[in-house]
Structure 1
């Protein structure tokens, strides 16, 4: 998995050791429609970015933002635009069958 090390940083009087900063394959902008939201998702350096279109980023594709659309419909429409199946009538999350982060 690609990663980079983040620099050592101080938190209060405690020195923290470097932690690997993973670069995600996909980052999804579920924050909003403003240019700050698009810039924030781009700052993740993810390989694939899913976001709504914004005129400040004309080279970035995406569906238009509809102010009068309910949020569930808005986000599902965006995911569907990118080929991710999202049904606005099916909001249940399945119970995980495996532990994603096992205890250490």
Structure 2
């Protein structure tokens, strides 16, 4: 019962999303962006970015600490992560045949 109160506002008369009954805790732990969005198991789909942002925040704390404590190691770590990000983006673009464009897909 209380799960439905989290996802509904007082004026909402819609039924809750089907994934919220079992998978609400993914949102609570900020790991809901790891769920497969095509299966309908997600709860509050629009909150994927909150999870993404929180994960980057948690990862940034040790990286910043390493950079202040061991400057060269921290800078190398940051460059490696930056290149890995570029590589992942390029790899996904090639795999899914995505073309660069100024227009949004939606």
After TM superposition, is the score higher than 0.5? Answer: no
Provide TM-score, normalisation by structure 2. 0.26
Of structures 1 and 2, the larger Rg is shown by: 2
Structure (1/2) with the larger strand percentage: 1
Provide TM-score, normalisation by structure 1. 0.26
Structure (1/2) with the larger helix percentage: 2
